[in-house]
Amino acid sequence: MNNGYNRDGRQMPRGDQPPRPVQRQPQGQPQRQMPGADPRMQNPRGNMQRPAGQSNSRMAQERRQMPPQNTRDPRAAQQRPTGQRPMAQGASSQQRTRALNDTHRKATREQMREDKRRRRKEARRLFLGRLAVYGIMLLVLAAVVIGMFAFVFYRTPDENESTVNFVEKYDGKTGISNEVSGDLAYRNDVLYVNFSSIADGCDMSVIIDSKNAKFVLPDDGDTSDSAGTGHEEYVMFVKDSREIVICGQDFRLSDAAVFSDGDVWVPGNFVSDYMNGITVDEDKAGGNVYITREREDASDEDGDAPLAEVSFKLKATTAPDPTEPPEDAEITGDMPEVRFTTDLSAYEKYMNPKNADEYLVLVNKTNSVDADYVPSDLVNIANTRDDGRATQRMREVAAKALDAMFIEMYAAGYTDVSVTSAYRSYEYQGQLYNNYVANSGQEAADTFSAKPGKSEHQTGLCADLHNLPSASTAFADEEAYEWLSENAWKFGFILRFPEDKTEITGYMYEPWHYRFVGRNAAWKIHSAGMCLEEYLKD
């Protein structure tokens, strides 16, 4: 020990002096204990007190030979590896725990970040999907709104959703206005008129039940005769049917009669075509229909001329009167006097037109008509077969002449004949021809069907008419065909494809196919036994 002196014997400065040695308990004396203290706490290492006279080295040797003691947990000493200090082992365990905790926290934070990213991605995808759906719905809604706006403000008014004002004048001066809904006034774009109202204005008597309605005109216009003298003119309509009876003769309307709330509605053309003294004028743009009783002198501007007599153009068959052709009719040769059972004087200008050459156009396998040709004066045919097919059409002059022929034919008792085909467009003729070729082959089809552009049907001057389920040469065996063979020329019609002219016409015999050429030409072709090609060639 230096005791405050260095190796040279000099006293060391006080700051450089080593600490003083710890005073130890004198040997041979027991260690002092605090009252109530645990002896083991006073000697925590469990060192034995050195007996008096025992050296320190021996005490150290003994301590080395003794097993370590742990006053707190003996098992901890057994589990601790040899030579490892307890404090070091605890520190290492804590480090591992902290490392594991850090790793777990990192994994947890990473998982949370991944979950958050996944939720954000899912929310973004859901948002975009909803946005797309809402966008589509918005576009559809906008389209619907725009469509409705255009429909409401820019569409053409439909007759069925509008009203029509009927102005009826029967006394020549006072007009009676009656506004009705469009669905009553128009059906399939055909004007209908209230015949019950017309009958009331013309003093007709009415007999009506659930199926039929009969309107009777008094004889000679005398209302006192309305009880019936046997000479009255009348018309009888059948509910929801085209069949009518005029003065005892069966006939057909262009469209079915309609019974509604006790009134009878009929096509307006019935009044125009089959009644005298009443006119029907349609102002479709203005929504007005004028029904007027005519005056005997239509040129009387003051309205003082007497009213014209109201009558039906078809008369009873018991009193046939000859129909004299007008003075300006072009009749040449030995044409016999034309007589009809019914009064067809109103149709004379159609059966024997002044401009007859206009109707002598030739269309056959070598003479074509343009694909875009459509006659400008097509009108409905009243006698179209009532089997669901569309109403057939012809040029106006030919259609009126055909009406006259049906009136006379029905009066003769052949009421089962009807029109099955008339005007055909270029496109429709092409469809028919292609179907025939597909079913029968082109060679056979060319004998009975025309190629598009080479069909007379496109001219609007011919009609197929018969009383069979379908067109057939068997019609030649029917009595109605015999009547047509003898009388068709009187109305301006010819049999277009005779049996003995197939080599000239290029088509098979068609006893149902009739072509309008006007009475003068029809008489010459009929009397000479020619076909149209031969007549026009000469």
Q: Which two tokens stand for residue 338?
A: 């034309």
Q: Are 310 and 275 in contact (CB under 8 A)?
A: yes
- Give pLDDT, residue 242: 84
Q: Which two tokens stand for residue 80?
A: 């601790």
**Nearest CA to 392 among 371, 373, 359, 420?**
420
Residues β-bridged to residue 94: none
* Catalytic pick among 348, 408, 456, 510: 510
What does the alpha-carbon distance between residue 364 and residue 32 come to, in Å, rounded to a whole number? 153
Sequence-separated contacts (24+) of 183-187 with Cβ below 8 Å: 183/159, 184/260, 184/265, 185/159, 185/289, 186/159, 186/160, 187/255, 187/258
Give me the percent of the chain exceeding a pLDDT of 90. Answer: 35
- Give pLDDT, residue 226: 38
Concatenated DSSP letters of 416-435? T-EEEE----HHHHHHHHHH
Task: Find all residues with CB under 8 Å of 531, minimum gap 6, and list them.
Answer: 496, 497, 498, 501, 504, 505, 525
Each residue's pLDDT tens digit, 240-280: 988 888 887 777 787 889 998 889 999 988 888 788 888 88
What does the alpha-carbon distance between residue 342 and residue 248 come to, in Å, rounded to a whole number? 11
The residue extents of the domains of the chain are 95-155, 160-312, 345-537
What does the alpha-carbon distance between residue 451 and residue 429 come to, in Å, rounded to a whole number? 7
What does the alpha-carbon distance between residue 343 and residue 411 come to, in Å, rounded to a whole number? 11
φ and ψ at residue 20, rounded to 5 degrees: -70, 145
Each residue's pLDDT tens digit, 196-248: 999 888 888 898 888 899 999 876 544 434 344 456 788 999 999 888 888 87
**Nearest CA to 351 among 520, 103, 180?**
520
Each residue's pLDDT tens digit, 77-112: 455 555 555 555 666 788 888 888 888 888 888 888
What does the alpha-carbon distance between residue 393 and residue 424 come to, in Å, rounded to a whole number? 9
Q: Are 497 and 450 in contact (CB under 8 A)?
A: no
Q: How many CB atoms lie within 10 A of CB 316?
A: 20
Clarify whether 479 is annotated catalytic.
no
Pick the CATH number of 160-312 from 3.30.457.10, 3.20.20.70, 3.30.300.180, 3.40.640.10: 3.30.457.10
φ and ψ at residue 253, rounded to 5 degrees: -80, 165
- Give pLDDT, residue 13: 60
- Give pLDDT, residue 423: 96
Query: In CATH terms, is domain 345-537 a member of 3.30.1380.10?
Result: yes
What does the alpha-carbon distance between residue 492 and residue 488 come to, in Å, rounded to a whole number? 7
Task: Find all residues with CB under 8 Å of 332, minimum gap 6, and list them.
Answer: 520
- Which one-letter DSSP state was computed for residue 384? B
- Give pLDDT, residue 468: 93
The pTM score is 0.51
- Give pLDDT, residue 327: 42
What average pLDDT values come out for the chain (538 residues) when binned by 10 residues?
A: 58 59 56 54 50 56 58 51 56 80 85 88 87 89 83 52 81 77 84 91 87 83 44 85 81 85 90 84 86 72 72 59 39 74 91 93 93 93 89 95 94 91 95 92 91 95 95 94 96 96 94 97 95 90
- Give pLDDT, residue 221: 44
Cα distances (angstroms) measured from residue 281 to each of 159, 167, 169, 393: 17, 10, 12, 21
Packing angle of the helix pair 479-487, 396-411 (nearest 10 deg): 130
